[in-house]
Structure 1
Amino acid sequence: MSPSDLPSDLPPRVGVWLIGARGSVATTAVAGCAALTAGLRPPTGMLTETPPFARSGLPPLTALVFGGHDTAEGPLAKRAEALAGAGVLPHGLPDAVRAELDDADRGIRAGATDDADGVTERLADDIREFARRRGLRRVVVVNVASTEPRTDGPGLPPSALYAAAAVRAGCPYVNFTPSAGIQHPGLAPLVEESRLPYAGRDGKTGQTLLRAVLAPMFAQRALDVRAWSGTNLLGGGDGAALADPAAAAAKNAGKARVLADALGTLPQGGTHIDDVPALGDWKTAWDHIAFDGFLGTRMVLQTTWQGCDSALAAPLVLDLARIMARAGELGLTGPVGELGFYFKDPVGEGPVALGEQYGRLLELARRLAAGR
């Protein structure tokens, strides 16, 4: 669906179609956007609200309209209340933005669990109908669903079904998860023919964000990293999903790739993920880094990261939706490698170090401002 398919006098509103629309990240993004547009909270954590993006032509937050797919049921407002009770959302915010949560809730449609006949077209029709009903010039699809296990069986996994639906509906696409999504080999011909912009994979919000800073530091100072081990304790939907060893392996692959790319080799050790339901949406991540300095002197760096993934991810989701809407408007095609700053396993070519990735992101901001 391109802008030319819609009347030219429609208001410049942009749809954000969330896969996993009733999850913690999606709920936090919807509630957060409503809070920002109402002036209830500052846009902390949103790069698109900083000066480098001021002239990039991004859609304003007031222009964003939310919908999505999910296999779960239950009102979005109830989910927001649960998040407020857990300290993820500010106390009282769900009541303050209930109208916006209810509005988004009316745009959520039943998701898909398998590659049944016609399911991709049904999912694409949901997106098209959302755009028509809400009078949207463009819809960006963002996958924020739980990590799915890697499988080698026949047919497409759910993440690829949603990605195929996004492509068929003519929508820029963002994969914020480690799941295959638009990068599934079975979608390659469809994606190439579509010439749509897409970005991903696996949002970089906590432990890997820190690794993207520290690993280049060791390499740049010519220090020899002998071992790098990590542990994650988390609950909520992600904790339950990552209790599956296959899903955890998909998640950890991105964490390991950051180290291997920055250091030139993968050091000893690995990353272990524990599901601790009592933690809810909060996560603790530890890293133990053993390295050699001058004359082989052995040293250790240990880090602890404690945070809320939903609150860390939501502003990135809003950033990416706005940037990709602008990319679609300008006719950018294929992988948007300049968005590697946001991902563990970014598509396209680009640097690994966070500082260099930030430089590429600022280059993109200037391109968007120039309209190219």
Structure 2
Amino acid sequence: MPASPSADRAGVWLVGARGSVATTVVAGCAALTAGLHPPTGLVTETAVCAGSGLPPLTALVFGGHDTTDCPLPKRAEQLAAGGVLPPGLPSAVAAELAAADREIRPGGPLPGDTRDADELITVFASDIQDFVYRHRLARAVVVNVASTEPAPTGTELPPSSLYAAAALRAGCPYVNFTPSTGLHHPALAAPLAASGLPYAGRDGKTGQTLLRAVLGPMFAQRALAVRAWSGTNLLGGGDGAALADPAAAAAKNAGKERVLADTLGAAPEGEVHIDDVPVLGDWKTAWDHVAFDGFLGTRMVLQTIWQGCDSALAAPLVLDLARFTARAHQIGLSGPLSDLGFYFKDPVGDGPAALGEQYAALVAFAGRLAGAAR
């Protein structure tokens, strides 16, 4: 029988555990703990989080659900071949990848699955509870990093909500890094309120929207009138394929547009388009075209280009969120963690939309966690 749980050991249960983001999270955490790379991109490894009582990277244990069967070591090799992971890293952290892969359980529902929603939730929750028990974990945070799903059109729980319900049933805090429904389904409102668990989300802010959260306040603060703001995204990989579905793309774009409405005071003209370009793999390009008026109505334009690797942008944020949320659960916080809005396009709870203000709230939150550690 396993011994009593260790206060430092925290599980990170990834929904979509064999995807690009999850693989980069596991490989990246192993690389950092081995001292192979510096913790670039992790706010939790900066001075503002010193003394906050966050679980150390060395204490994180990974598992998850997925509907695919490509082993993590193989997936990491594919990412290295595509330039997402550094050459040689998959072999250097092969043991850690294999250990996490052994903790991945079948997701669902799969085509032809006859189990109803409650049966699936029960199985998923049991998987998480077994993971926590066997590894003597003090707690586990469930993080959804699966591909975007279309918004539900009926009362049936979509997959993201099945996993979210399983997290509640297992007694685990939940983070939705995607724009999928997750805990936002009306059927989960009552069990969420009764759970007393902290939760955060949704839709990680990694690129184009991150930039919008900086530029939108700039125009508002300088009293410049934005006439139109249009954007285009080119991306491949699993996200590109998923977002080729207009319904999934609409769910994704809603958060991008909401940031502008919140920071500018009103939604400007213009739309965001997402194009699937499979050859790009995990790399993406985002263009923004901003038409604005200056003094005496002088018409001007700002254009931006953002090119980056989505998995490498997302992975440090997932690690940050898992550590913050685990610590929040440890000290007894419950409900929406609005102070983590810095990381999301569509944050839960009440909070500012401008990135600078969100960062200030995050720093204050880290200070609260530090105070609880004394």
Please give the TM-score of this superposition, normalised by the length of structure 1. Answer: 0.97
From 107, 118, 123, the counterpart of 1:111: 107
Task: Tell whether the 8 Å contact from 1:11 to 1:135 is kept in structure 2 after alignment.
Answer: no
Match of 2:113 in 1: none
Match of 2:158 in 1: 157
- 2:345 maps to 1:344: yes
The CA RMSD measured in Å over matched residues stands at 1.1
For 1:181-260, what aligned pairs fall within 5 Å after superposition?
Answer: 181-260=182-261
Quick one: distance in 2 between partners of 1:360 and 1:117?
Answer: 38
Structure 1 stretches lacking a partner, 5+ long = 1-5
From 35, 45, 54, the counterpart of 2:31: 35
- Structure 1 counterpart SS, 2:143: strand
Please give the TM-score of this superposition, normalised by the length of structure 2. Answer: 0.96
Shift of 1:12: 2.6
- 2:350 maps to 1:369: no
- 2:75 maps to 1:79: yes
Match of 2:96 in 1: 100
Shift of 1:152: 1.5
| CA 1:268–1:120: 2 relative to 1, 3 Å | same
Shift of 1:113: 2.3
From 5, 11, 18, the counterpart of 1:22: 18
Match of 1:44 in 2: 40
Match of 1:3 in 2: none
Task: Tell whether the 8 Å contact from 2:65 to 2:105 is kept in structure 1 after alignment.
Answer: yes
Match of 1:270 in 2: 271
Quick one: distance in 2 between partners of 1:326 and 1:10?
Answer: 14
Q: Mean alpha-carbon deviation: is it higher for 95-104 or for 154-163? A: 154-163
Quick one: distance in 1 between partners of 2:4 and 2:66?
Answer: 31
Shift of 1:134: 1.2
| CA 1:76–1:344: 2 relative to 1, 3 Å | same
Quick one: distance in 1 between partners of 2:109 and 2:236?
Answer: 23
- Structure 2 counterpart SS, 1:163: helix
Shift of 1:174: 0.4
Quick one: distance in 2 between partners of 1:154 and 1:171?
Answer: 24
Q: Which amino acid is the alignment partner of residue 136 of structure 1?
A: L
Q: Which amino acid is the alignment partner of residue 125 of structure 1?
A: S
Deviation by residue 1:286-312 (Cα, 9 ceiling, x = unmatched): 000000011100000000000000000
Q: Mean alpha-carbon deviation: is it higher for 6-15 or for 271-280? A: 6-15
| CA 1:139–1:292: 2 relative to 1, 3 Å | same
| CA 1:10–1:354: 2 relative to 1, 3 Å | closer
The count of residues paired between Structure 1 and Structure 2 equals 367
- Structure 2 counterpart SS, 1:42: coil
- Structure 2 counterpart SS, 1:13: strand
Q: Mean alpha-carbon deviation: is it higher for 100-109 or for 9-18? A: 9-18
- Structure 2 counterpart SS, 1:341: helix
Deviation by residue 1:128-177 (Cα, 9 ceiling, x = unmatched): 01111111110000000000001212310000000000011000110000
Match of 1:322 in 2: 323
Task: Tell whether the 8 Å contact from 2:198 to 2:335 is kept in structure 1 after alignment.
Answer: yes
- Identity %, equivalent residues: 74
Quick one: distance in 1 between partners of 2:317 and 2:170?
Answer: 23
Quick one: distance in 2 between partners of 1:13 and 1:93?
Answer: 24
| CA 1:11–1:216: 2 relative to 1, 3 Å | closer
Match of 2:142 in 1: 141
- Structure 2 counterpart SS, 1:12: strand
Deviation by residue 1:33-81 (Cα, 9 ceiling, x = unmatched): 0000000000000000000101000000000000000011111000000
Task: Tell whether the 8 Å contact from 2:204 to 2:345 is kept in structure 1 after alignment.
Answer: yes
Shift of 1:11: 6.0
Shift of 1:10: 3.5
Shift of 1:261: 0.6
Quick one: distance in 2 between partners of 1:9 and 1:328?
Answer: 15
For 1:4-19, what aligned pairs fall within 5 Å after superposition?
Answer: 8=4, 10=6, 12-19=8-15
Quick one: distance in 2 between partners of 1:103 and 1:305?
Answer: 35
Structure 2 stretches lacking a partner, 5+ long = 111-115
Q: Which amino acid is the alignment partner of residue 106 of structure 1?
A: R
Q: Which amino acid is the alignment partner of residue 90 of structure 2?
A: P
Shift of 1:106: 0.3
Q: Which amino acid is the alignment partner of residue 155 of structure 2?
A: P
Task: Tell whether the 8 Å contact from 2:230 to 2:289 is kept in structure 1 after alignment.
Answer: yes
